Structures are given as structure tokens and as C-alpha cells.
Amino acid sequence: KQEVTQIPAALSVPEGENLVLNCSFTDSAIYNLQWFRQDPGKGLTSLLLIQSSQREQTSGRLNASLDKSSGRSTLYIAASQPGDSATYLCAVKGRSNYGQNFVFGPGTRLSVLP
């Protein structure tokens, strides 16, 4: 059964810092991995999707990398801003569990202080 963990559970940084969020998964037979952002009381917003054949994806100040062999993905946020404060979740779509479905990590709660 695929299990997804995220470290740290919470992170507080001053504005302007570069930071890295970590996502680990136990079954490397994945189809893709997706990073989401969730603001309090809101739904999940897709940030980046990395297909299993890719090593990284970039969107603005965000860069996500994928290392299937080690079961890890990182989300790099450059020059953090208070507006980046949210919970960040990663999810993996497996080839071997539930067929079409994603398994989610518990999330990292990020606070960027002005």
C-alpha cells in the first residue's frame, strides 16, 4: 500500500527566505506526483505536476523535483512572501494501488512572516 509522508509538518520562516518542502512515498511505481496548495477553509489548488518520466517542473518561484528511485520529491520556493503562507500537500498517482487514484500526504503548514 502506498504511503506518503511530508516533512516538516509545519515551518515558519521570515519573508525572503528560500525554502524546501519534502515529500516521501513508499512505492516507487508511480505515474505522476502533484503538489497542491490549500488556504484555510478553501479547496486545493494545483501548483505543479511531475510525470514519472520527468525530473523537475518549474512555475515562477516554484520548482518541484522528483527522484523515483529514492521515493522523494521536493518543492523549492524561492524568495518566500507572506502570501505563500498556506498548507502544501503532495499526492502520488500510483500504478499499483486503486488504479487511477491519488494518495495524499498530510501536508506541511507554511507560515511566512513579514
Partner 1 sequence: NAGVTQTPKFQVLKTGQSMTLQCAQDMNHEYMSWYRQDPGMGLRLIHYSVGAGITDQGEVPNGYNVSRSTTEDFPLRLLSAAPSQTSVYFCASSYLPLAGVSPGELFFGEGSRLTVL
User: Which of 21/80 has CB closer to partner 1?
Assistant: 21
49: Cβ contacts below 8 Å, ≥ 6 apart: 32, 33, 34, 35, 57
Binding residue for partner 1 (CB under 8 A) from 68, 94, 102, 110? 102
In contact, 80 and 70? CB cutoff 8 Å: no
Contact region for partner 1 (CB under 8 A) — 19-27, 65-73, 76-84, 87-95? 87-95
Binding residue for partner 1 (CB under 8 A) from 16, 20, 42, 81? 42
Binding residue for partner 1 (CB under 8 A) from 32, 56, 63, 76? 32
Contact call for residue 104 and partner 1 (CB under 8 A): yes
Question: What is Dmax (Cα atoms) for the chain?
Answer: 44
Binding site for partner 1 (CB under 8 A): 31-32, 34, 36, 41-46, 49, 51, 89, 91, 93, 98-102, 104-107
